[in-house]
Chain A
Amino acid sequence: MAMIEMKGVSKWYGSFQVLTDCTTNVDKGEVVVVCGPSGSGKSTLIKCVNALEPFQKGDVVVDGISVGDPKTDLPKLRARVGMVFQHFELFPHMSVSNNLALAQVKVLGRSKDEATARGMKYLERVGLTEHAHKYPGQLSGGQQQRVAIARALSMDPIAMLFDEPTSALDPEMINEVLDVMVGLAQEGMTMMVVTHEMGFARKVANRVIFMDKGEIVEDAKKDDFFGKPRSERAVQFLSKILHH
């Protein structure tokens, strides 16, 4: 069953087309990695899933609900889809524990105590319980990104979107974040991940989507993509990022 369905999504910035007729599905429990050169529209595509980026043509359907339909209650839909950003985007003026509790209280209507307790549960999962009282600025990049993942998880999402979650991190911190993501994938979380970490893709992805110039050039099973990419552009891309 498709958890996320993208049907002919196209988007323009003025006259410049950033997405052209993008169609794909992410099934429940599936992990799909989106890769491609910079400027290829990967981040824009993933932001269309929860309508952070509006699109002009086509539609995205998340768990049966149309994102493009103006009648859709977007905040309600977004609350069910977790998102992790390249630059973490923790709220710097709040402690870690309040970062985790805010939306649970304001959006899901949980009590402050319940929200804090749930937040602690997910903080434990990413191994950061002792940092609950700190402010984001006092944590390392890797720690901040793990908090951001915990923040998204504490909303009990039906799917998780990752927008280049490790590209702003120092190399030695990348693995601590990837480990958490691998764990999530193995537990059966539905995930759409924009990343250049091909090791991650090989390990847990079911499918790989390769984008270039706003188009989905290749949408293949992981082994097919790495084994015998069909398009010349994907071959070139892979040779560039795998050969060092």
Chain B
Amino acid sequence: MFTGFDFDVIQRSAGYLFREGMTFTVTLTVMAMTTGIVLGTLLAMMRLSSFRVLAMLAGGYVNLMRSIPLVLVIFWFYFLVPWMGGWLIGATEPIQVGAFMSSFITFTLFEAAYYCEIMRAGIQSIPRGQVWAGYALGLNYWQSMGHVVLPQAFRNMLPILLTQTIILFQDTSLVYVLSITDFLGAASKVAQRDGRLVEMYLFVAVVYFIISYFLSYLVKRLQARIAVPGKL
């Protein structure tokens, strides 16, 4: 069935694919996840804030990000970030932003909207009495958030946050539209050069599948482990 195919190309290019491509993909995923969750949590706190303006700003941002296709956001930010950076530091010329930085900012801002909705659900899942108990002991807003609400919300939502991260891991492959050498980008370069499209794209699919599947499995294991002792 596979006569005429040359799977040797995988072996020849594997070093390059993983060293260059996968390193970029994984670094981007982990960094965008970390800052995305932090930003998303702040957005969630804003959305639930009793200050109308804050809630509306955060709500608008989240809805905007969730209503635009990711590819468009990637394009927009790729061209906009240098200008925004220049404007921020008061330069007249757009600043130089590397491919990594640009995609890191894009994915952080985009994924924050999704992480925000997860954290919002997480925060809302904590009974009001918990917040009361924190306040009654004299904790202020930030202390009761930091020590009482968020740790529980985060723990409850961890499986969903990680599942979202698996989606992020797959989504990062879209940076290939900017000719960035992520895992898919690297494979596609080799594929074009050697004329081995089917083999390479097949290989890429298998690798994404294995990693994502393995991560999902880990999330399930984790879910069982982090359960609070004695809690239903």
Chain A residues within 8 Å of B, Cβ to Cβ: 47, 50, 52, 74-76, 78-83, 85-87, 89-93, 102-103, 106-108, 134-139, 151-152, 155
Chain B residues within 8 Å of A, Cβ to Cβ: 127, 129-130, 132-140, 143, 147-148, 151-152, 155, 228-232
Measured between C-beta atoms, what is the minimum distance from A62 to chain B in Å?
A: 13
Measured between beta carbons, the chain A residues less than 8 angstroms from B132 are 47, 52, 83, 85, 89
B152: contacting residue among A76, A92, A102, CB under 8 A: A92
Q: A135-B229, A137-B228 are in contact. Are A89 and B133 (CB under 8 A)?
A: yes
CA distance A151 to B228 in the complex (A): 20
The chain B residue with its CB closest to the CB of A104 is B137
A89-B231 in contact (CB<8A): no
B137: contacting residue among A92, A103, A138, A139, CB under 8 A: A103
A91-B133 in contact (CB<8A): yes
Given contacts A78-B136, A137-B230, 17 further A-B contacts (CB under 8 A): A50-B135, A50-B136, A75-B140, A76-B138, A78-B137, A78-B138, A89-B129, A91-B130, A92-B152, A93-B151, A102-B139, A106-B147, A107-B138, A135-B228, A135-B229, A137-B232, A152-B137
The chain B residue with its CB closest to the CB of A89 is B133
CA distance A155 to B229 in the complex (A): 26
Measured between beta carbons, the chain A residues less than 8 angstroms from B137 are 78-79, 102-103, 107, 151-152, 155
Measured between C-beta atoms, what is the minimum distance from A77 to chain B in Å?
A: 8
Measured between C-beta atoms, what is the minimum distance from A56 to chain B in Å?
A: 16
Q: A92-B231, A136-B230 are in contact. Are A106 and B151 (CB under 8 A)?
A: no
Q: A85-B133, A87-B129, A89-B132 are in contact. Are A103 and B138 (CB under 8 A)?
A: yes
Ordered by A's residue number, 20 sampled pairs between the chains whose C-beta atoms are within 8 Å are A50-B135, A52-B132, A75-B140, A81-B136, A82-B136, A85-B133, A85-B136, A87-B129, A91-B134, A91-B148, A93-B228, A102-B137, A103-B137, A103-B139, A134-B229, A137-B228, A138-B229, A139-B230, A151-B137, A152-B137
B136: contacting residue among A83, A134, A138, CB under 8 A: A83
CA distance A137 to B227 in the complex (A): 11
CA distance A76 to B21 in the complex (A): 54
B148-A78 in contact (CB<8A): no
Measured between beta carbons, the chain A residues less than 8 angstroms from B139 are 75, 102-103, 106-107
Measured between beta carbons, the chain A residues less than 8 angstroms from B129 are 85-87, 89
